């Protein structure tokens, strides 16, 4: 158990809909990262938040957005869903932002499996 929690575990929805995925980082961690794992793309970095502020963006679609709240939990919002958005969505956390002199190990949650029908 990494200490990172994600809800829900599974989500089934229809095209065009909007969903929210939730992540709680490990106790004491300030950074939250979101990754998408699809069958053909592997694990892809989406976005990072550090202490409530966006720190880095990866291959995140404009239909997707995220935020980190004062209690440090994070939500990933996916809107206008398409069939191709079906994937595993992982959240990870680390203590620092990782942008300083020391690299940070990221610890992953169990993921949310999203199926868009």
Partner 1 sequence: DQQVKQNSPSLSVQEGRISILNCDYTNSMFDYFLWYKKYPAEGPTFLISISSIKDKNEDGRFTVFLNKSAKHLSLHIVPSQPGDSAVYFCAASALGQGAQKLVFGQGTRLTINP
3-state SS class at 69:
coil
Given the rule CB under 8 A, which residues bind partner 1? 2, 4, 6, 31, 33, 35, 42-45, 48, 50, 55-56, 58, 90, 92, 94, 97-101, 103-111
Compute φ and ψ for 71, nearest 5 degrees. -85, 10
Minimum separation from the CB atom of position 80 to partner 1 (A): 25
Which one, 68 or 94, has the nearer CB to partner 1?
94
Which one, 67 or 97, has the nearer CB to partner 1?
97
Strand partners, 57: 47
Q: Where are the extended beta strands (E) located within the chain?
A: 5-7, 10-13, 19-24, 31-38, 42-50, 53-57, 64-68, 74-78, 87-94, 107-108, 112-116
Minimum separation from the CB atom of position 108 to partner 1 (A): 4
Minimum separation from the CB atom of position 20 to partner 1 (A): 19
Which one, 35 or 116, has the nearer CB to partner 1?
35
Please report where in the chains the tokens 């939730």 appear, as a residue.
Answer: 22
Minimum separation from the CB atom of position 55 to partner 1 (A): 4
Which one, 13 or 97, has the nearer CB to partner 1?
97
Residues in the chain: 117
């Amino acid at each position: 158990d990494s200490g990172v929690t994600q809800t829900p575990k599974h989500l089934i929805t229809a095209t065009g809909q909007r969903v929210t995925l939730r992540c709680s980082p490990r106790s004491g961690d300030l950074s939250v990262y979101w990754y998408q794992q699809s069958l053909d793309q592997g694990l892809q970095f989406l976005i990072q938040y550090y202490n409530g502020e966006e720190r880095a963006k990866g291959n995140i679609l404009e239909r997707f957005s995220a935020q980190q709240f004062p209690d440090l939990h994070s939500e990933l919002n996916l809107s206008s869903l398409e069939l191709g958005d079906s994937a595993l969505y992982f959240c990870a956390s680390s203590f620092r932002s990782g942008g300083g002199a020391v690299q940070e190990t990221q610890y992953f949650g169990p993921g949310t499996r999203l199926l868009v029908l």
